[in-house]
Structure 1
Amino acid sequence: MVGIFILGTFLLYCVGQKQIQGVPQGCVSQPSCSACLRSPGCAWCKHKDFLKSGESSERRCDTAESLRTRRCEQMDIINPRLDPVFLKNNDLSSNSDNVVQLKPQNLLFKLRVGVPQTFNVSFKRAEGYPIDLYYLMDLSFSMKDDLDTIKNLGQDILSALKKVTQKVRIGFGSFVDKVALPYVSQVKAKKNNPCPNRLNICQPAFSFQNILRLTEDVDEFKTRVSDQIISGNLDSPEAGFDAIMQAAVCQSVIGWNNVTRILVYTSDDTFHIAGDGRLAGIFEPHDGMCHLNGTGFYDGTKYDYPSVGQLARVLAANNIQLIFAVTEDSVAAYKALSKLIPQSVVGVLKNDSSNVVLLISEAYSNLSSTILLEHHEAPSDLDVTYKSHCTPEKGDNTHWQRRGECMNVKLNQQVNFTVSLNISTCLKEKQTFSLKLQGISETLKVSVETLCDCDCQDREEQSSHCNEIGTLTCGICSCDEGHLGQRCECERPKDMTSAESMAATCRQDNSSQLCSGHGSCECGMCMCQGTHRGNFCQCDDNSCARHNNMLCGGNGQCECGTCKCNANYTGSACDCSTLTDQCGTVGKLCNGQGTCQCNQCQCNKDFFGINCSKIANACPKFLLY
């Protein structure tokens, strides 16, 4: 059973890979035009005189090539495949009044089940694209030296980022921990001044505070940060997750614009995670909403800490790229965390934060060099895959993947992706989903509909082709009640005796199956299924022997299960050539040391080679003593 499961899984994988690469070969015939369109690789011939007497409607459903071979005119072949409609396709632009980094912007597809369609997507980061940077700082007591350094770094941070763009805004927020035991002492004196000794003065602890919304005013940044004093708490982990959540979802309070958004998180210790709140009796999961009060504070005692999954979702949804600037002792924990949060990087912060400007510059460069294209909210039955075309000199990533991915991309470099869409079922209505680049606000909207019904434009009620007792649609007759046949030419039997008498003419003998089990009996005649034919559907023109996986070796025609070979071929699969040109040598066939069979030499004992011209172990046989 395990072997069967593995084999089945392997086969499904292979089928999936084949469908990704192109339209599946062949066609599984269907009895109606609509069912035919839902069968990958199939087309339908609507010409009313296409079928011979006794052929079933399934014979109208075949590959388009096969239908043409069987003399169905192109105008009568229903095989819809529509190109995508570009609803919005503006060119890439770095113009500050009309920035376009992703092309196209809006597409409409009409898909057939199992028939992939592809389109191209281009991305180029706009030169000088504005940046919003929000600096989120741990204000627990161990970060005292870092606060003194940060007070004078506003201008340096802006200057570093202005090497990339002239439009930069900076904001500032801080965090400590939830004001509850066991995180923060509830003794009144320690709660008011949580410093570890009486020689220092600390502000009371808090979960998160927005100190300065995003601004271009460097002097205001310096003034507001200079007003801050350190705080303290009891345990090592901090409420960093609370702070990240509020900084991300409180869009209007923080002041995020629709630009490149960067959140810099600095700390010298680890973080509390979802579930830790239970230590303080806080059981309610975080709701992912903004809860800042009028003064910018977040009371963290109502909700538990957010989960890693929640943070990943809100950061992605709000196009915020996260830089963890943490001291060396905490790097391992944050690197593990960064693997779970897309568009995040980790940098090693010196103990006094003196290298924070260089760290931000390097981290931003690393974030910008990684381009990840993904789809969101696509229909469950739609398979979306990507090929990435990153750099011409390195070639393309020719494997289909679940997302587009390019690494080490330069700021002014364009990258391209090929996207494949393959639907497995018919959709009831048009559905729309989006393609997004991580950390970029622009989106590509893709709407998909399915082509699952035929519009043959030949409907004719009481058609003469149907003996005026049926409706002609897509070349076939739908007979009025009480009538049967390819052209509604007979009446449906009204009693058992009439039915049995009619069925008797569809059996080769009394003991055989009706229409040999490969068709239905209508009007006393067999209507054969698939590739079967004959008065009793006894012939199958697809059941002959194969050679090299080709019916009759590709050297003959299959007629009723027997290969009729072309000239110069014989054998059950027409796999034996009657020519002898490949056996020829000067004088005799096969050098007189073998026989020519199927145009190949079968050598006698001790001889080998194409023409039996070589002798095995020649020296011992002809050695003279």
Structure 2
Amino acid sequence: MSTCNIFHPSSKISLLHLLFIEEISSEINMKSEILVCSVLVLTILKFSESQESASQADVCKHTLSCADCIRSHPSCVWCSSKNFTKGGESEGSRCATRLELIQRGCQEDLIIDPRGLIRTVKNISLSDNADQEVITQLAPQKMYLKLRPGKKEKFKVQFKRAEGYPIDLYYLMDLSYSMKDDLENVKKLGSDILQELHKITKSVRIGFGSFVDKTVLPYVNTIASQLRNPCPRVESCQPPFSYRNVLPLTSNLTLFQERVSAENISGNVDQPEGGLDAMFQAAVCMDHIGWKNVTRLLVYASDDVFHMAGDGKLAGIYMPTDGHCHLNQNGEYFQSNIYDYPSVGHLSQILTAANIQPIFAVTSSVLSTYQALSEVIPKSAVGELKEDSSNVVNLISQAYYNLSSSVNLEHINLPKGVNILYDSYCPDLTNVKQIKGQCSGVKINQMVEFEVTLWIDEKICQDGKQSFQLRVLGFNEELNVDIEPLCDCNCMDEEIFSSHCNGGRGNYSCGVCSCVDGYKGKHCECPKDKYGSDAECIMIGSALPCNGRGRCECGRCTCNAHFGGEYCECDDTSCERHDGLLCGGHSRGHCRCGTCKCTPNYTGNACDCSLDTRECETPDGKDGKICSGHGTCKCNKCVCDTGYQSSDRCSECFQCRTPCQIYRDCAECKAFNTGPLKDNCTTSCANVSLTMVKHSDSAGKDLKEWCSEKDITFLVTDDKDIVHILVKTKQEIKDNTKSLIVGLVLGIAFFGLLLIILYRIVVEVYDRKEYNRFVKAQKTEQWNDTQNPLFKSATTTVLNPNFTQD
């Protein structure tokens, strides 16, 4: 059975609700699944909307300034009206949702609700090919956003691979002794590599670097003769070294072949190599290698595993890699024996920052190790290298296509307090959103679109303007995003020493007074030396001023949010609720001192009764009266007169029906707990008592009328008070069905037993015949006692002296 796929992004449903839904879903059959799923979806949406409304009503906390209000939650706004708050009401009640403030009488133009801003500053159109002077693959290039804390804003980013985008390829090779055959092939394959890359782009540069390991024990043999020639037998090798930049990136193929041809193999002692050292220096030494702002590929060729952070301790090297370039004039890593190998995480960070895409060309024996390494290095690829590197050209070509067709949008330098999410619209997934900034299988000149969602935390308000960059991994183009926090209110009503604040004893802004020293109160009307005691704000029977729910100002209580009364004794959250909402929600009423004050369209203890009558009006085509003229409308629902049903706005006469029609549903729900009244059987059929009778017991009874309604057969007495049900098509059929099933099972069992008995009889008769024939043949057979001509007796007999026979 399939399941209901229910999702509502704004709903907040507890695990208990989900388990309840799952339990219900597991009980339904295939025919009713669609209907039940629809009901569940509507129920969840209703629940989530009511929960969201309830939560929004309470998100706006008691704040004393407009700035604190708009920072508290995106749905909170501030009323800057001068006389908005009433006596005993705190200025913090100015902070609420827009709907609540309007209902409380705040004018729309006096509501302070700062709105965010998204502006595209620079947006150069995307390029189709690399022949243009300026190649643009990422758009826009600069964005400016004003963000309110907690408020999510969205903008779109586009990327399109331009045909013929330039490539820098740096070939980094392991020159330990086991790579001897590989070096000879690489010397011959340089032109083939360039020729293959020229199929992709006209602009290609290639460079070459090599590595062995750190030149200390236990990595290499430090005996003088071994340092001069570390290779076995009588072969001539170059001394070991850590990493050497043999040839910076160049478009001169002849120079590449000359430099590589001049290289010789070297050697080390232990199995792992110093490849991570070499990759790290090739990434941080940008000027030495000659990297340009193009596609950067680093081909790493080796037949063995690698040393990493911590291994240097074997040689007494404890200092971690410092992240700087340490190549001398000859291009050698001269600080190799001072700094430890880099960690995988540090290397991944450096390669990502430099936008270098590594291609690991390694032999099958270490393929799994480098595949694990590739998983933690973004935009990297692994290929299996033949023992002599003869397939390196195809390997590089395939790895490049795999890397370039994968588009990963990422952020760099993201400030603290800034949050970001990506939605990807990939060409191969039409109208499908991916909550990741990545697409795969993207072809040249195929556009990919990302939707970026940004929001900031309140703490970023102290930091001011911030910026970060978005880029596609493997490409050097960036989108610069400038963010300005929107954390303050611009009320445009500021008055210094305003007359509204008790004749200039305070400054006025956003509807409230900021009092000078020595005064307090809403209008700075209270000298602090006169109202220093809070005794006047203590209610009889209470120990705290304003019951601990407000502040004593000028001898009167100014209550916190959700409290009221002379001494803040009233809890404005203690009213009755309807559909989980206080007083049915702000659209229906407000809680005042434990009692719901309903809006004009609602009434009731919880404002649960609507004064609207639209649901009671008869649909078009009928008499047009309220409840069809046979009832009254209460809380937008029909209450029908005696003899009429409310299911169709009292249009159906209940008493006009025959007794069979009247009692049919009651008969079904009371007898079988099914039918339209099964959920309300006790209330709807309160005046009906039921007696179950069998067909045989019904004969001779003084009954007025037999009723056959659908599949129910029953009898109604004259007093219309007792319904006798003659079960003919339900219970008896069930009983007959059970009897039939039991009889069928017994019949099958008996027939099976009979077959087994017959089988055993046939086998027994056959066995007896065979046995009699064997006995008869035995009696007629003639046996001759003769000596076996092949038998010879023993020639030697050995007796055990320890064995004696009695």
- The normalised TM-score by structure 1 is 0.85
* 2:439 alignment partner AA: C
Are residues 1:486 and 2:518 paired? no
State the alpha-carbon separation in 2 of the partners of residues 499 and 287 from structure 1. 63
Partner SS state of residue 311, structure 1: helix
Q: Which residue of 2 aligns with 1:166?
A: 202
- Contact 1:465 / 1:472 at 8 angstroms: preserved in 2? yes
Q: Which residue of 2 aligns with 1:270?
A: 305
Q: Which residue of 2 aligns with 1:549?
A: 580
39, 42, 54: which one aligns with 2:76: 42
* 1:544 alignment partner AA: C
Q: Which residue of 2 aligns with 1:384?
A: 420
Shift, 1:605, TM fit: 8.2
Shift, 1:70, TM fit: 3.1
- Contact 1:544 / 1:563 at 8 angstroms: preserved in 2? yes
Are residues 1:623 and 2:659 paired? no
**CA pair 349-589 structure 1, distance change in 2 beyond 3 A:** farther
Q: Which residue of 2 aligns with 1:144?
A: 180
- Contact 2:576 / 2:605 at 8 angstroms: preserved in 1? no
Q: Which residue of 2 aligns with 1:3?
A: none
State the alpha-carbon separation in 2 of the partners of residues 269 and 345 from structure 1. 17
38, 54, 58: which one aligns with 2:92: 58
Partner SS state of residue 152, structure 1: helix
Shift, 1:444, TM fit: 2.1
Are residues 1:241 and 2:276 paired? yes
- Contact 1:54 / 1:527 at 8 angstroms: preserved in 2? yes
**CA pair 98-421 structure 1, distance change in 2 beyond 3 A:** same
State the alpha-carbon separation in 2 of the partners of residues 303 and 481 from structure 1. 62
Q: Which residue of 1 aligns with 2:246?
A: 211
* 2:308 alignment partner AA: I
- Contact 1:129 / 1:260 at 8 angstroms: preserved in 2? yes
**CA pair 334-462 structure 1, distance change in 2 beyond 3 A:** closer
Partner SS state of residue 423, structure 2: strand
Shift, 1:542, TM fit: 4.1
Number of residue-to-residue matches in the alignment: 594
State the alpha-carbon separation in 2 of the partners of residues 368 and 409 from structure 1. 8
Alignment of 1:463-474 (within 5 A): 463-468=498-503, 469-474=505-510
- The normalised TM-score by structure 2 is 0.67
State the alpha-carbon separation in 1 of the partners of residues 531 and 171 from structure 2. 88
**CA pair 237-530 structure 1, distance change in 2 beyond 3 A:** same
Are residues 1:250 and 2:285 paired? yes
State the alpha-carbon separation in 2 of the partners of residues 262 and 337 from structure 1. 17
Q: Matched residues, percent identical? A: 47
Can you list the C-alpha shifts for 1:197-236, whole angstroms capped at 9, x where unaligned?
Answer: 22x3222222122222111111222222122222222222
Are residues 1:586 and 2:653 paired? yes
**CA pair 571-429 structure 1, distance change in 2 beyond 3 A:** closer
**CA pair 526-610 structure 1, distance change in 2 beyond 3 A:** farther
Shift, 1:146, TM fit: 1.3
Shift, 1:562, TM fit: 3.0
454, 457, 461: which one aligns with 2:489: 454
Partner SS state of residue 579, structure 1: strand
Structure 1: stretches of 5+ with no match in the other structure: 1-6, 11-17, 596-602
Higher-Rg structure is: 2
* 2:312 alignment partner AA: G
* 1:42 alignment partner AA: C
- Contact 1:556 / 1:563 at 8 angstroms: preserved in 2? no
* 2:550 alignment partner AA: G
Partner SS state of residue 297, structure 1: coil
Can you list the C-alpha shifts for 1:238-279, whole angstroms capped at 9, x where unaligned?
Answer: 111121122222222211111111000111111111222222
Q: Which segment is superposed worse, 156-165 or 526-535?
A: 526-535
Alignment of 1:96-495 (within 5 A): 96-198=132-234, 200-299=235-334, 300-391=336-427, 393-399=429-435, 404-424=437-457, 425=459, 426-468=461-503, 469-492=505-528, 494=530
- Contact 1:245 / 1:314 at 8 angstroms: preserved in 2? yes
Shift, 1:44, TM fit: 0.9
- Of Structure 1 and Structure 2, the greater helix share is in 2
State the alpha-carbon separation in 1 of the partners of residues 656 and 375 from structure 2. 71
- Contact 2:582 / 2:591 at 8 angstroms: preserved in 1? no
- Post-superposition, which runs of at least 4 consecutive aligned residues in structure 1 deviate over 6 A? 565-569, 589-595, 603-607, 612-617
Structure 2: stretches of 5+ with no match in the other structure: 1-11, 16-48, 610-633, 640-645, 693-711, 715-724, 733-806
Can you list the C-alpha shifts for 1:472-524, whole angstroms capped at 9, x where unaligned?
Answer: 2111123344444433445446277x753x436xx4x5558644543334334
Partner SS state of residue 72, structure 2: coil
- Contact 1:129 / 1:259 at 8 angstroms: preserved in 2? yes
* 2:116 alignment partner AA: L
Partner SS state of residue 84, structure 1: strand
- Of Structure 1 and Structure 2, the greater strand share is in 1
Q: Does 1 or 2 have the higher relative contact order (CA < 8 Å, sep 6+)? A: 1
- Contact 2:320 / 2:341 at 8 angstroms: preserved in 1? yes
55, 62, 66: which one aligns with 1:33: 66
- Contact 2:146 / 2:486 at 8 angstroms: preserved in 1? yes
